[in-house]
Structure 1
Amino acid sequence: MACEKEERVNPRIVVMGGGTGLSVMLRGLKEKPLDITAIVTVADDGGSSGILRSELQMPPPGDIRNVLTALADVEPSLSEMLKYRFKSGSGLAGHSLGNLLLAAMTDITGDFVAGIRELSRVLAVRGRVLPAANQAVVLKAEM
């Protein structure tokens, strides 16, 4: 009898969220043999994300950038560059380089999801990163 070699498939895990908590968790998970998909919020409207959201009519890139950086298989110095926030300049102050790169890739590809996919490829991201929506979301509550 011929022995068939059993192909081992990594467990699939889907995580949803945003902010710093999601990226911290993903930094640990990426070291495990997992097939990771991260679904990331696009409701941020503050800081660099809020400015890019308003001026470029794009979903806010900050939480996506944090997740891409967490799952990227790059040198630590490149990871630090993606998180780097400009401290001066009338137009650049407060913007992170990673947010600007994601905005540029969105403009180049013509689509936020395509921009994320291409930046994921460039950064050798382990897993898939998807926005919760392909447009900016506004959360509202009534009391």
Structure 2
Amino acid sequence: MENQHTLYRPPRARGPKIAVIGGGHGLSNMLRGLKQYTENLTAIVTVADDGGGSGALRSDLRMPPPGDIRNCLEALANTEPLMAELLHYRFSEGVLAGQSFGNLFLAALNGISPSFDAAVSRMSEVLAITGRVLPVTNA
């Protein structure tokens, strides 16, 4: 006999449309959970981080800090475990000490894209993310 009290869960493609606004690790953790219930996610992410590797890229390359954006892209990514490990990798020596490969990847895409939001869109395609990630601003 089947359990008659099982809750019906619609397919993720028809799940609720959810927009979240914020930054930091809390937003990316929340997106990891929401991704299990719906594909209709939009994360509007702040670009105010000025510490660590993000702060260095912000001042050196005159671009929005990529850290919080990268964390959200990673949370929504549908990639192989090796790619996730690569994006999380932090250099431990030399001029890149403390910098994450994911931040550098997004910085490189920013260098070959017409705008920061175009770079984020391109990284979204590479990582086959669920939903959308939008920076609050390009500057």
What is the TM-score of this pair, normalised by structure 1?
0.85
Contact 1:35 1:127 in 2 (8 A): yes
CA RMSD of aligned residues (A): 1.2
1:30 paired with 2:31, answer no
- CA offsets 1:48-104 (integer angstroms, 9 cap, x no match): 000000010000000000000000001122112101110001x21111000000000
What CA distance in whole angstroms lies between the structure 2 residues aligned with 1:73 and 1:39?
Answer: 19
1:32 positional shift: 1.2
Match of residue 51, structure 1, among 48, 56, 78? 56
What CA distance in whole angstroms lies between the structure 2 residues aligned with 1:45 and 1:33?
Answer: 32
| Larger relative helix fraction | 2
Unmatched segments (≥5 aa) in structure 2: 1-12
1:68 paired with 2:49, answer no
- Please give the secondary structure, in 2, of the residue aligned with 1:129: strand
**What pairs up with 1:1-143 in 2 under 5 angstroms?**
9-89=14-94, 91-135=95-139
What CA distance in whole angstroms lies between the structure 1 residues aligned with 2:14 and 2:67?
Answer: 32
1:105 positional shift: 0.2
1:16 positional shift: 0.9
What is the TM-score of this pair, normalised by structure 2?
0.88
